[in-house]
Chain A
Amino acid sequence: MNPLARGHGLVVQELEDELLLYDTKRHRAHHLNQTAALIFCHCDGVRTVAELAELLEAGAPLEARIAVVEETVRVLARKGLLKDPRMVAGVPRRKVLKLGAAALALPVIRSIVAPTPAYAQTALPNGAACTASSQCASGCCCNLITGAVCQDMVLCVPGCLG
């Protein structure tokens, strides 16, 4: 089955050659870089993976380009951005690079959970899960083995995240 981008429940904002997507069902926002945006925009259910690969820069071998598309489609499906969310067998990123995809701008899809009004502005208390120190009231997102949590700087032995 050829990949088909989801149409309903998505707010799409074009930013030059990138895309910003907002999933109104899951309240998640996604930023697609140039390569990921190009592939997403052409997932029309008609083009095959090989045809999508032909859209990418011709500097890399076709096999590498197909691997890049497969990986992108897999990630798009996992994030619920394709109409048929069944997983496509993707190629691990390391293997994609080995195939000679270095000449390509690799796809990057960064996602966030859209904030609630309170979360958009409130600093997290100690013990709350975090991804960056700026989220914490203490100013330190401590990178513990069990996961990053907000903690007082002086008590954070492994060190604070950026």
Chain B
Amino acid sequence: MEQLNRLGWAEGIAVRAFGVSVGVRVTDAAALREIVPLLPPGWRPAPPLVRVLYSYVAGGDGPRRGVRRMHLLYRGSALLAGEPAPEPVLDKLEVDLRQLVALASPNRVFVHAGAVGWNGRAILIPGRSVSGKSTLVAEFVRRRATYYSDEYAVIDRRGRVHPYAKPVSMRDFPGARPVDVPVSAFGGVAGTEPLPVGAVVVTGYRRGARFRPQRLSAGAGALELLQHSVAARYRPQRILPALGAATAGATVLRGPRGEAAEAAERILEEVGQE
């Protein structure tokens, strides 16, 4: 770390997101302009004493002709990435920042899930990457649902869902690199207020499937959310009550889905019946 500290640092930023304070310092001031859009949703400027410090060493042309320096990223003193091009290193920084906040947030439970608001209640779609969450979230937003997140449902101890309004990550096919699409492209707006949970929908895309969900109990819904909770192993004492509060009174549906439009319509019908 001492060696890192001795480098010439051109600029830095300290931010706080969901109770986690993070700093990023750079050797090239221009790099900071590229980093700011990658900071976790909901960040605010914070005092410079931070919990975790990232160091970005900009690469590029070296002192001698024909020599190029790598772009390097450190978390504390640990090297996270080193690449000849800046893009993969910045991608790594973005992902690591989000995971850090999700794992370390002292007052929020981060569940890997899509989340939208509908009639004053949140619909949660827990699932791993490439399970079709973003597609279903985009479909809800096209139907005038309020966008909360396509990555994390951020739940407080009262079970309410807070906005985590990053752009929607859409893939052309499973395994393809995701492209960020602003929610306005789907004709939607992002939510600003916390919402109680109205429904938990456990589903994944299966070609040709029709969405005929099975209704589960609130407890089964809480277990499904726990299965996708980032900090499940580290803070079960805080997570279980939050998930219990979130699923109390919520409709829990489970089943594979085919096309997002058909599933969204069916889900809204089911939620509307409550």
Contacts and interface: CB of A to CB of B under 8 A. Distances in A.
Interface stretch (B38-46, B73-81, B138-146, B231-239): B231-239
B206 A15 contact: no
Interface of A: 11, 13-16, 18-20, 22, 24, 27, 29, 31-33, 110, 112, 114-117, 120-124, 132-140, 153, 160, 162
Nearest to A134: B204
Given A110-B220, A162-B255, A29 B232 contact: yes
A133 B103 contact: no
Given A31-B223, A123-B130, A137 B217 contact: no
B244 A15 contact: yes
Looking at B205, B219, B223, which has the most chain A CB atoms within 10 Å of its CB? B219
Looking at B127, B129, B223, which has the most chain A CB atoms within 10 Å of its CB? B223
Nearest to B111: A120
Interface string B100-131: 00110000000110000000000000011111
B99 interface: yes
Q: How large is the interface on B (under 10, 10 to 19, 20 to 34, 35 or more residues)?
A: 35 or more
Nearest to B241: A13
Given A15-B247, A153-B207, A117 B129 contact: no
B248 A117 contact: no
Interface string B13-51: 000000000000000000000000000000000000000
B129 A120 contact: no
Contact of B227 (A11, A115, A123): A115
Top 6 closest A-B pairs, CB basis?
A134-B204, A18-B219, A13-B240, A134-B131, A22-B236, A121-B112
Contacts of A140: 206
Contacts of B222: 13, 15, 20, 31
Nearest to B254: A162
Contacts of B131: 123, 134-135, 139
A153 B204 CA distance: 14
B248 A15 contact: yes
B226 A114 contact: yes
Contacts of B233: 27, 114-117
A20 B226 contact: yes
A29 B227 CA distance: 9
B157 to A, nearest CB: 12
A33 B219 contact: yes
Contacts of A11: 236-237, 240
A110 to B, nearest CB: 6
A13 B244 contact: yes
A133 B205 CA distance: 8
B55 interface: no
Contacts of A139: 130-132, 174, 204-207
Contact of B248 (A16, A114, A122, A123): A16
A132 B204 contact: yes
Contacts of B127: 134
Interface string B197-211: 000001111110100
Contacts of A32: 219
A138 B129 CA distance: 10
Contacts of B243: 13, 20
A120 B223 contact: no
Contacts of A18: 217-219
Contacts of A24: 236
A20 B240 contact: yes
Contacts of B220: 31, 110
